[in-house]
Amino acid sequence: MARAQLSNPKKPLAADAPVCEASLVHLDNVRQVQPEVLETNQAQRMAEFFSALSDPHRLKLLSALAQQELCVCDLAAAVKMGESAVSHQLRVLRSHRLVKYRRQGRNVYYSVADDHVASLYREVSEHLNE
């Protein structure tokens, strides 16, 4: 296995943090994972996506929409928020393609954007409940 010594000493970590004792880079390991490491622009897009999920109000809206399609009035009542606040949070979620809407006459109904979003919500919820 190819190895290269690090030129910079490691920064001190918390006392209980696992560390690499030898301060060596395993080039075979690096070469194996490097092609799959995110490009900076992709990492930025993902960070923005996850930041949209970092608000508890938006997560409450997603939790309701993961169950069924709802209009703003029903969403506001379900999550105990004002309609204006719900509309604002829905705009954020829509801008990140987490929710979509459809018009039916004068009513607008919101739902999760696709199965990926619903699955992501369920997976995180299940992970936190373990």
Domains in the chain: boundaries: 56-129
Q: What is the pLDDT of residues 60-77, one digit of tens each?
A: 999 999 999 999 999 999
- Residues 72, 58: contact at Cβ < 8 Å? no
pLDDT recorded at residue 63: 94
The dihedral sign for the CA sequence 115, 125, 59, 78: positive
Mean pLDDT across the chain? 88
pLDDT recorded at residue 11: 54
Lookup: tokens for 78: 């379900």
Q: What is the CATH number of domain 56-129?
A: 1.10.10.10
Q: What is the pLDDT of residues 8-27, one digit of tens each?
A: 445 555 667 777 676 788 89
